[in-house]
């Protein structure tokens, strides 16, 4: 492929420098009037007359597992647990050493200079409300995308499996929404970067792009993020909720890898390049959303202050990097890392996440092919 055909960063992500924080922070998600958001869906719905179940044995196996792995968000979670959000924020901070980290961050010359315990706790509370809100919006994105895959994927085994994922995602939206309403103290609109990504995924006319954007990128990142929160929260209801959701997500990501593997073996170099660029765009958008713009905005912290704070928070980088632990090995398994001249390998190296290529991919995740529901398996 000639250099002329290569898209620049500005064309793919709307800015030249990946780490241009000012550009990242200039995009803030807002509540939409009317409370709805409509995206044009350009896909053709596709019938198949080939009903032979099991033609793709790995997808068929996943479908059989999924039927037995269902759980009930109303009755299988301990909703009776009372959550004192402020106490949870304090306990989490204690357990994870947050206050020591803040103590070593230089906040002089920023609004945070005048913050005391009350303001930092409020930040923790808003952070939780924001994070769980984004999980909920992302889950709705997954619900819509998977319903779309049922329509557009040409193989009956994939349509069957995707139908089980639609049910899983409905349950995820339900439990995150309920947790926010009953246990936390406020909602946030969808983060601007996540919103841009979801719009791109939904409006793309090629069915494999739905999979790549959702199952590989968004869900790959979500699985890692849920794992991180599962590990760091001290709140038992949320811990259980996340663990159950993760058991489903492992299947969803495996579904993406198993489905795309077959297709990507047949694509041309130019078609693979487009997939590489889309994966890179998604990676950057998901990293950008972790800048918490909407939280800073609500707390009245100006952009210049946020940049100063973010530029000296190495633990935030660790978290960001860890979030790519599922994506990178899966993208490698699909051949996207090294396709063409290894363009995506180069981009992931620049993002600092390439080391995860050696980690196991999601087709080997024990949760994906486990027998029985999380309730029966008594996962903890
Ligand atoms: Fe989900
Ligand atoms: Fe999912």
pLDDT tens-place string over residues 351-377: 889 999 999 999 989 899 999 999 999
Mean pLDDT of 7-15: 84
Tens digits of residue pLDDT in 148-194: 999 999 999 999 999 999 999 999 999 999 999 999 999 999 998 89
| 141 Cα: distance to centroid of ligand 1 (angstroms) | 9
H helices within 27-108, ranges in order?
Answer: 57-68, 85-96, 98-103
| 307 Cα: distance to centroid of ligand 1 (angstroms) | 32
Q: Locate 373 and state its tokens.
A: 């529901």
Tens digits of residue pLDDT in 39-84: 998 889 999 999 999 999 999 999 999 999 999 999 999 999 999 9
| 36 Cα: distance to centroid of ligand 2 (angstroms) | 22
What per-residue confidence (pLDDT) applies to 316? 61
Which residues does 148 contact at the CB level (< 8 Å), separation at least 6? 41, 43, 202, 210
Contact criterion met (CB below 8 Å) for 279 and 214: no
Q: Strands, DSSP E only, in the chain? A: none
Stronger pLDDT, 158 or 17, i.e. the higher one: 158
> Could you give the angle at which helices 269-288 and 343-350 cross, rounded to 10 degrees?
10
Which 3 state secondary structure label does DSSP give 316? Answer: helix
Ligand closest to 173 (CA) is 1
- Round to whole Å and give the CA distance between 234 and 90: 10
Tens digits of residue pLDDT in 88-123: 999 999 998 887 777 788 888 899 999 999 999 999
Enumerate residues with CB within 5 Å of ligand 1 (an ion): 139, 142, 169, 172
């Amino acid at each position: 492929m000639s250099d002329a055909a290569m898209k620049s960063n500005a064309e793919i992500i709307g800015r030249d420098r990946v780490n241009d924080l000012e550009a990242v922070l200039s995009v803030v998600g807002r509540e939409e009037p009317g409370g709805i958001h409509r995206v044009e869906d350009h896909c053709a719905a596709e019938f198949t007359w080939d009903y032979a179940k099991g033609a793709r044995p790995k997808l068929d196996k996943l479908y059989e597992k999924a039927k037995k792995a269902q759980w009930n968000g109303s009755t299988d979670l301990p909703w009776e647990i009372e959550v004192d959000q402020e106490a949870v924020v304090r306990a989490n901070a204690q357990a994870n050493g947050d206050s020591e980290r803040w103590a070593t961050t230089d906040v002089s010359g920023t609004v945070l200079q005048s913050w005391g315990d009350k303001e930092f706790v409020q930040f923790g509370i808003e952070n939780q409300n924001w994070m769980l809100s984004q999980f909920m919006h992302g889950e709705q994105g997954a619900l819509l995308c998977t319903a779309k895959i049922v329509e557009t994927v040409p193989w009956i085994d994939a349509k069957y499996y995707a139908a089980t994922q639609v049910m899983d995602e409905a349950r995820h939206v339900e439990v995150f929404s309920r947790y926010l309403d009953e246990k936390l103290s406020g909602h946030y609109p969808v983060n601007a970067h996540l919103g841009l990504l979801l719009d791109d995924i939904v409006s793309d006319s090629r069915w494999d792009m739905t999979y790549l954007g959702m199952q590989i990128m968004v869900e790959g990142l979500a699985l890692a993020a849920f794992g991180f929160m599962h590990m760091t929260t001290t709140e038992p209801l949320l811990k259980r909720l996340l663990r159950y959701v993760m058991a489903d997500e492992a299947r969803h990501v495996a579904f993406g890898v198993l489905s795309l593997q077959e297709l990507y073996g047949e694509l041309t170099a130019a078609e693979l390049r487009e997939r590489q660029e889309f994966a890179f765009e998604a990676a950057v958008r998901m990293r950008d959303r972790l800048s918490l713009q909407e939280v800073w905005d609500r707390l009245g912290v100006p952009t210049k202050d946020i940049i100063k704070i973010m530029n000296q928070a190495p633990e935030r980088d660790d978290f960001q990097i860890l979030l790519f632990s599922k994506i990178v090995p899966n993208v490698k398994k699909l051949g996207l890392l090294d396709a063409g001249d290894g363009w995506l390998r180069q981009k992931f190296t620049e993002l600092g996440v390439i080391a995860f290529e050696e980690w196991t991919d999601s087709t080997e995740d024990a949760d994906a092919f486990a027998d029985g529901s999380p309730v029966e398996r008594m996962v903890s």
